Every structure is written in structure tokens, then in C-alpha cells.
Amino acid sequence: MKLKARPLEIQAGGKSVAILDDDTASLLGLHSSDRVTITYKKQKTIGIVNIATNFPPSFVGLYEEISEKLGTKAGDEVEVQPADTPQSLGHVQAKVRGERLRENEIQMIVKDAVERHLSDIELASFITALYVHGLNMDETEALSRAMVRTGRTLNLKNQGPILDKHSIGGIPGDKATILIVPIVAAAGFTIPKTSSRAITSPAGTADRVESLCPVDLSIDEIKTVVGKTHGCMVWGGALELAPADDIFIQIEYPLAIDPLLLPSIMGKKKAIGATHIIIDIPAGRGAKIKTTSEAHSLAYDFIDLGKRLGMTVQCAVTFGEQPLGCAIGPALEAREALAAIMGKSPFDLKDKATSIAGILLEMVGVQDGKQTAQHILESGKAEKKLREIIEAQGGKPQVRPEDIAVGDKRAEITADKEGRILGINTADMARIAREAGAPKEKGAGVLLKAKLGEHVKKNGALFEIYAERDSKLEAALELAKKLVPISLTKGAEQGMLIDRIPVKVEHKKPFILER
Amino acid sequence: MKLKARPLEIQAGGKSVAILDDDTASLLGLHSSDRVTITYKKQKTIGIVNIATNFPPSFVGLYEEISEKLGTKAGDEVEVQPADTPQSLGHVQAKVRGERLRENEIQMIVKDAVERHLSDIELASFITALYVHGLNMDETEALSRAMVRTGRTLNLKNQGPILDKHSIGGIPGDKATILIVPIVAAAGFTIPKTSSRAITSPAGTADRVESLCPVDLSIDEIKTVVGKTHGCMVWGGALELAPADDIFIQIEYPLAIDPLLLPSIMGKKKAIGATHIIIDIPAGRGAKIKTTSEAHSLAYDFIDLGKRLGMTVQCAVTFGEQPLGCAIGPALEAREALAAIMGKSPFDLKDKATSIAGILLEMVGVQDGKQTAQHILESGKAEKKLREIIEAQGGKPQVRPEDIAVGDKRAEITADKEGRILGINTADMARIAREAGAPKEKGAGVLLKAKLGEHVKKNGALFEIYAERDSKLEAALELAKKLVPISLTKGAEQGMLIDRIPVKVEHKKPFILER
């Protein structure tokens, strides 16, 4: 049927949608979600039908994706014909039925997801089926490979190994990367670190580093920075290393499920050409992984998948029962990390950074990795390297912690009794920091004044909230008073009672989607 | 945040979507699929966030659903604030995790689906989870009740029982309803039959009846017709008996899964106030139900669910290995049904109609139901009643079969050898009739010239394709030649070989979504 093209001015998501009015669709025997081929001159593409009741007949509304492929302008006559559903949809349906998918079937699904030939409904069904039926290791490997194949790669012209680290996340305040990358680069190894921005957390590593220097670099710029300094700390989001993952995240986020954790992380590592990777798995009640035994099981999968993809992987299970260091929020964390690399580090941050850097160094043959890492940190070599990287990425190399602006609206939360700190609810802490404005308002966040096991006097400081705006400060303060994220023992000794549960309360389970 | 309302001119589906540009969303800490409250004067509503890259900042794009609720016009200033996700989404996620849902939880999901507070992604995940984990009978009952509660009801002021029939479908050419309703009504019982239009088939009962009289009646008009004639045959689609079901169908259709078959059918029966229902379950290789044992299992669920909802249900398992009668397609079927009620019926159509009507009559105390039904049919009482109903619904009561226009483009498919008919692929037949233009082009379809077991000479007629347009006729003819839907034995006797399979062929499984 000949219809007039009508480019749609407003469109959410880059989908290949073709909008038809009710009658036109019915004449063509089409329902919403059916496919059409749209032909214009010699160009041909597939659209997913959406039926609108208020759309003018004899027109077809085209999302940008389609208009661009066809080169149509408003009013151009195009030919619209019913088309078969894509083969990949059959494979989605097979997974829903509980079948195992073969590599070429998974490749088709990922390719069609990236090319927007599968709708949100179909992708949501796929993700749900992956979550419910699980993925075996063959499927996980195939998904990783398909993500790499549909994305760009870094292709460093490197002789030696390419190192990388990744934390599966879930611990607020984890700024260890800002220490680890300079330590490893200062040891002479290549570590082109890409990070994400926060999705559900108060700060992603890209958000933190952005308080020190630009992070939005192109692939060519990354190559230059790594060529000069052996390392980088950039935002991976715009590099299109695994565009499929961005699409899957849009689906996973509202559903609060994350069946693609393994292939997503490892696909991106493969795309930057990593050869040796350390995966940090924080284990703690508020973290993504609750227990060390869960952590072990996940670690084995990472190691196995790494092997299948030709990468050496080791995992570190780290203590995840409280935030790392004291600062939560982009600018506060950047300050803390910079001060730490300059010699003034909270013990846990320094210990985690040197432990992880140490394992990574040992993976490429360095003896006594942790001591080596400590030496690099304490000798000032790591600081020097960080400043080189900051400069190469376009920041001010001489930046001091106090140069980093933090929110000037502040409020302190104090203890209502004397006691020792028995628990810090990391999910609550993250919520409070977000309520204060993080990660968008970079100066917002939380600064802990006491950590697990420490003794606090009545009216002693527990933590401080930082915000850029009064309204946000108030909102965060209110939330903090409601949540009571820090629990204290009665009296000064280590008590045993964790919780007293007088009545059932419906808790919203926090969902951590960070990669 | 104050934003200017921008009503969206084009919108597919009646969703409560609020479109924000990237930066505005980020400032508010919002991701796609998050919720916002939108406040205008004293009105307040919830929107599902969609982030668009090409949307003007300081505006919020509002789907009609929202504009109407708030009463906003273009440029009105509204207040937009992040809101919690609906509680129902938590219940969707619980079902994805494999939990059983309680009645009030299901009620919340269905209500939010109808009010468009759940997105396509979330509903697709719910439907997929229902399919994968299954529904127990408590959940099925709760879903039925929730569908009734969120829809309208018929409320006939009736003293006696209210009868109804339903076929779960899947057999092309099943026009038995057009005989059953008049037989039951002529016996003095009330049978307010609502039917659907075709979704995946060449004709739904509403499409068939529409060749005899209007079917798009309001609830008040239905009451008048039933008051006059005891029966009706109307389109249920616009009555909003179970608006949730229309929303679920939009999701089920692309996924080709139908976990809501039971609650959807029985919810609608409850909504029209039925007290005695016969469910027809055709069993056959091309039907929705393949074997009689599957049919029995489904039948028990229907009976059980009926009991829970306070309705008496019996089921009939019917032979579903070939189309019913000879005609497939709205007008061809209307012709055949009208001729049948006037005394010229194919044996199978007459037998099925009187069997089902007979069971229904026996359910309300009539002795020898089938004989009674046959007598009503053969005595002309059923025809008289059909004409009363046609007249009451606004059609011409004196309509003759030959008055019903059928396609004048025709082509005959003949046998390439002598033999007996061993199989008729009902799914293929349905596809050919749709390719010819059915159901939209009412005169299009297929007319069988021979049925199972019949002897056909070489070059003897197998079936005839009817179309309204040459291009459709050609397309259907080509498809018929490719599919070869009728298989013949070698020679004149009943042979035993059904299929010879020399090579693996990937078959697209046909999906039947009819209610």
C-alpha cells in the first residue's frame, strides 16, 4: 500500500517504529507489533507497527531510525507491506518456553535488539525468560560474544598484557579504582579503565573521576592517553563497546532484574582487549551479593567465562557490610580518593585498593603484589601517575582535594545514645545520598563520621549530609531520620542484638543495577 | 520542577506516558520507566517517564490519557516530581521470582494495567512470568474477578438462568454459534452472546454475524434485543466487559503466548451474568488443543473455575481435525450458516450445533437436549428466531444466503492425483483465507469442495479461493500452491501414510489468539 511518510518529531528511544492509523492497519491485516517492510526508492527497511487512533489515514509515521535509513522526508510516498516477524523473535519465544539457545540464535537476538528490530515487549519477555530459566555457560558465552560483535572495540596496539578491574558494585563510596588504576599504571602495566555512570547508586566511577578531569573521551583520545600514561579512567557509555547492553539495561531497570550481569561485564572487557582482569565482588547484606558463598559461586562463573573468552580472570571477595571510606557522592568521593593517594587514606580504602592492585600485579608476574602496590602508593608514584592521567584527560594536574567543590548546605546526624556502631545499612545510605542530589548534583552526598565498631558518645556525630540546595538537604535529612541507617549497641561494648522485630513491615528491596 | 505541558499529537496505545528530555530527566534523577507525579491546579496524576533525545527542555510531553485527567492544554505550567513505582510493580516482580500472588495483589496489577500505570515492558514481564511459572486456581480466580471488577457488567433484569456458550477456537469455519443461539433462544432461554472479531483467524463470530446484521451494539441496545428475542449475537469488543483483557492481548500477541485464556474467557462470562455455560474445546492437530487428553485437563479447569465464580460449566470436546462445514471467511460463513438454519446444512455443522445446544438445554433441565435442539432446528423455529434477532439488531430479517455478497475473484485448487482426503491442515487453510483478504475483506475466504475421507478424482476440485481483489487472489493462490493444505492418499482407498519426511524443515508454529 502506498502511504505518505510522516517523520515523527517526538520519539522516545531509538526504535524502528512505524505508526499507522486503525483503518489502514486493518486493511493491511496488521496488528500492533506486526512488522512491515517500508520501501522508498531503492531503500528498504523493517518497521514495528504501532497503531494509533488519532493518526491521519494514508500516512505512515516514521521514527528517526527508519527515516534516516530510507532517506525519506515528510510527504514522500513509501510502499508499506506486511512482513514476517524476525527469526530472532522465534528464538525469544523458544527461550520463554525454556529451551536452550544456540550461539547463532543468540547472535540474531542481540543483533536485532541493537538494530531495534525487536520491540520493548519482546525484549522484556526475553529478559524475563533469561531471569526465570537462567542461562547456561554456553549461552552466557554466546551473549558476551554477540555483545562484542555488535559493538566497537578499542584495539590498543599493545605488546604486553592489558589489565583491567571491575567491581560488580553495590557498596556506596567505592572509589578504589581511582587508586588502583594509577598504582597499576605506575608499575608499568597498561590499564585502560572504562567505567559507567551511576544508574541506581549515588555515584559511578565515571561520576567520581569527572570531579577530577573530563571522562567523556573518544576511542582515539583514549588511545592517546593510554599511550602517554599506560592508564586512563574514562566513561564507557558513549564508546558503544556493547550497545546491546544499553538497550538491555533499559528493560532490566524497571523490572529490577539483571540476568545479563556476567555477559555484559565480560563482553565489555573483551571489547577493550583486556587479557588479565580482576573482578571485585563485595559481599554484604546491603550489597548485590549477600554472602561469601554466593560470591564464590559467581566468582567461578566469571573465571570460567573469562577462560572461554580467552581472558585470565581472578576474583576478590571484599567486605561489603559498610561504605568504603567515609565519603559518598561524586565530589566528596573524588576529594577522599585524591587525599588518599596523597597519603591520607582511611584504612579500608587503602587496604582494598592495594589488595586488588596487588592481585592484578601478581596475575602478570609481579612478586609480592600487595607490598609492591603499597610501595607504589606510599612512595608517591601512584599520586604522580594519577596527576599524569588527569592531565592527559584534560584536567588540572595540580588539583588539590580542597579545590573540589562540595555542597555548602550541610546537616549532621548525631547519635541519640552512647554506643558502638553495629550496622550501617548501605542501601539506606545510598538512598540518603541520592535524596541529597547525588549523582546529578556532584557536590551532594554523605560523609560518615564513624564506622563499624567505633564508639560514639550520645549526641556524637554519625554522618553529615551535603547538598547543593536547601530543599534537597531537607529531603535527605527527613529520609535519614525515617530510615535510621546506622544502628548502635546499648552502651559502649559490642552488643549482640542486631534487630528487634515487633511487627511485619513491607520493605522495598533495593535493586542495584551498576556495571 | 515546573515544566510546560505539551500535549502529544501522536500516540500509540492509551498509555500514561510523560516524555522528558535527557537533561531534565537527569536533573530530576529520573530514568526511563520511572514514575512522576504531574500536578496541575488541583489535579494530580502519575506518568511513566520516557526519555527522548530530541525533546525540548523545560517541557513535558503528555499522552492524551494524562492531558485529559489533568485538563491541561499546550503551554500550561505543571509540577513534575519523582514518584515511587506503583505497588503493583512489586507484585509483578514477585511473580517473576516465582511467587504465588494473593487476590489483592492481582487486583492491584489488573487495576494498574487498565489505568495504564504499568508499562508495556512491565506487562510483558508479567505475562511471560505467568506463562513460565503458571497460575494456580486461586490466581486464576483472582484474575477473573479482577477483570470483572475493572470492567462493565451487563446486568440483565432476568428471572431465570442466563445461558452462554464459548468456543476456545482454532477451527476455521466454526459458525456453530449462529445456529446455537437461535436454537437456545427459540427454546425460551436467555442467551446474550457476545463474540470477538478475528485476531489471528480468518473470521471471528462477530465478523460472521456482521454479514447478517449490525453487531456493534451498546449495552442498552443489547438489553432491548435480548428483552425482545431472548438472544443476541453482538461484538463484545466495545462493551468494556474486561478492558484488562484487551490490554493483555496486545502483549500476548507478539509473544505468541496466552496464559490468560481461562480468566479472560470466564471473566467475560461473569460480566454478562451467565449462570450456565458450555465451553467448546475443539481438539485437533491444527487446533489450539491437540489431543483429547489435553482437552480433558483444560475442561476440568473450566469447570472448577466456573464453580469458584458461581457459574455452572460443562465442556464439549469436539472434532477439530478439519474446518467446520465448508466455508471459511466472514461472508462465506454467514451464507453457509443461514443456508444451514434454513435446512441445508453440512452434516458436521448441524451435528455440532445441535450437540452443543443440546448439552446447554440439558444443563437447565430440558430432557433429551440434542433431540430438542434438532427439532427446533428442523421445524424452522430456529430460523424464525434468527430472523427475529437479525431484525432486532438492525438487519434485514428476510435476508437470503444469496443476498450476502462474496468475493467475485475466484480460483479453484484441484487434485493432482486420484485419492481420498487424508488430512486438511486447518492452520494452512486459515492462512490461505487470510491471504485472500479475510477477515477485513468480508467476501474473501475459502470454500472446501471435499472433506476428510471423501474420494476425489484427478483434477477434481479440492477447494475454491474467494477474493475481492485480483492481487489478493493471486497471493492466496500462490500460498495455497506452496502450502498444499490438503493431503491425499495414493489411490481410492483409505491409505495409512500421513507424512513422508525426507528433510528437516523449520516450521513456524501457528499461534491462535482468539477468545
What pLDDT is attached to residue A13?
61
DSSP state, residue A290: -
What pLDDT is attached to residue A23?
86
Contact B31 A253 (CB under 8 A): yes
List the single residue in B26, B93, B125 with the smallest CB-CB distance to A124.
B125
Shortest alpha-carbon distance between residue A19 and chain B (Å): 7
CA distances from A510 to A251, A378, A476 (A): 17, 37, 17
DSSP state, residue B468: S
Instruction: Give the strand pairing for A409-414 and A59-62.
Output: unpaired
Burial class (CB in 10 A: 0-12, 13-18, 19+), B75: exposed
Chain A residues with CB-CB distance to B256 below 8 A: 93
Q: Residues A379-403: what's their mean pLDDT?
A: 98
For residues A437-467, one letter each, b for 16 or more C-beta atoms within 10 angstroms of the residue's C-beta and e for the rest, the string is: bbbbbbbbbbbbbbbbeebbeeebebbbbbb
Residue B165's pLDDT band (boundaries 50, 70, 90)?
A: very high
Select from B179, B125, B117 the least CA-distant residue to B373.
B179
Active site residue A258: yes
Contact B255 A12 (CB under 8 A): no
pLDDT tens digits, B17-55? 899 998 888 888 888 899 999 999 989 999 999 888 778
Contact B12 A51 (CB under 8 A): yes
Residue A336's pLDDT band (boundaries 50, 70, 90)?
A: very high
Rounded distance, CA A353 to CA A332, Å? 18
What pLDDT is attached to residue A22?
86
The answer on pLDDT for A503 being more than 90 is no
Q: Residues A400-420: what's their mean pLDDT?
A: 96
The answer on pLDDT for A14 being more than 80 is no
What pLDDT is attached to residue A427?
92
Question: A366 with A160: CB under 8 angstroms?
Answer: no
Q: Residues B205-234: what's their mean pLDDT?
A: 97
List the single residue in B8, B29, B90 with the smallest CB-CB distance to A440.
B29
What pLDDT is attached to residue A509?
66
The kind and range of the H/E element at B183 are: helix B177-186
All three cell numbers of B387 = 430472523
DSSP state, residue B436: T
Residue B505's pLDDT band (boundaries 50, 70, 90)?
A: low
Give the chain A residue whose CA is nearest to the CA of B31: A199
Chain B residues with CB-CB distance to A253 below 8 A: 31-33
pLDDT tens digits, A132-159? 999 999 999 999 999 999 999 999 987 8
Chain A residues with CB-CB distance to B74 below 8 A: none
**Residue B49 phi, psi (nearest 5):** -75, 135
Shortest alpha-carbon distance between residue A438 and chain B (Å): 8
CA distances from A172 to A292, A422, A430, B62, B229 (A): 19, 18, 6, 35, 71
Rounded distance, CA B295 to CA B390, Å? 34
Give the chain B residue whose CA is nearest to the CA of A49: B12
Residue A29's pLDDT band (boundaries 50, 70, 90)?
A: confident
List the single residue in A12, A122, A250 with the smallest CB-CB distance to B19.
A12
Rounded distance, CA B176 to CA B54, Å? 54
Rounded distance, CA B31 to CA B118, Å? 15
Q: Give the least confident one: A27-36, A267-276, B131-140, B446-455.
A: A27-36
List the single residue in A29, A55, A128 with the smallest CB-CB distance to B125.
A128
Q: Residues B287-314: what's their mean pLDDT?
A: 94
Residue B379's pLDDT band (boundaries 50, 70, 90)?
A: very high
DSSP for A160-189, written as a single string = S-BEEEEE----TT--THHHHHHHHHHTT-
List the single residue in A32, A131, A199 with the smallest CB-CB distance to B96.
A131
Instruction: Give the strand pairing for A17-21 and A59-62.
Output: antiparallel
Q: Across chain B, which distance is largest between two alpha carbons, in Å?
A: 81
Select from B69, B113, B63 the least CA-distant residue to B89.
B113
Write down the mean pLDDT value for chain A.
93
The answer on pLDDT for A5 being more than 80 is yes
Mutation test of the interface with chain A: which of B102, B121, B482, choosing the one with the most A Cβ atoms within 10 A? B121
Contact A10 B257 (CB under 8 A): no
What pLDDT is attached to residue B34?
92
Q: Residues A405-430: what's their mean pLDDT?
A: 94
Question: B63 with B72: CB under 8 angstroms?
Answer: no
Give the chain B residue whose CA is nearest to the CA of A64: B54
Q: Which of B21, B258, B280, B428 is catalytic?
A: B258
pLDDT tens digits, B248-288? 999 999 999 999 999 999 999 999 999 999 999 999 988 88
Domains contained in chain B, CATH given: 2-83 (2.40.40.20), 87-134 (1.20.970.10), 163-240+265-401 (3.40.1030.10), 409-488 (3.90.1170.30)
pLDDT > 90 fraction of chain B, expressed in percent and rounded = 80
Write down the mean pLDDT value for chain B.
93
Name the amino acid, one letter, at B19: I
Residue A515's pLDDT band (boundaries 50, 70, 90)?
A: low
What pLDDT is attached to residue B23?
86
pLDDT tens digits, B404-442? 999 999 999 999 999 999 899 999 999 999 999 999 999
pLDDT > 90 fraction of chain A, expressed in percent and rounded = 80
Residue B366's pLDDT band (boundaries 50, 70, 90)?
A: very high
Chain B residues with CB-CB distance to A19 below 8 A: 10, 12
All three cell numbers of A13 = 528511544
Side-chain-side CA neighbours of residue B49 (13 Å):
29
Q: Helices marked H in A312-380 — which ranges?
A: 330-341, 347-363, 369-378
pLDDT tens digits, B64-79? 888 888 999 999 999 9
**Cell numbers 469455519: residue:** B173
Select from B53, B54, B65, B56 the least CA-distant residue to B18.
B65
Count how many pairs of residues, chain A against chain B, have C-beta atoms within 8 Å.
Answer: 141
pLDDT tens digits, B321-365? 999 999 999 999 999 999 999 999 999 999 999 999 999 999 999
Give the residues across from A312 on adjacent strands.
A276
3-class SS of residue A110: helix
Q: Residues A47-62: what's their mean pLDDT?
A: 87
Give the chain A residue whose CA is nearest to the CA of B60: A10
What pLDDT is attached to residue B54?
76
What pLDDT is attached to residue B508?
65
Q: What is the pTM of this model?
A: 0.91
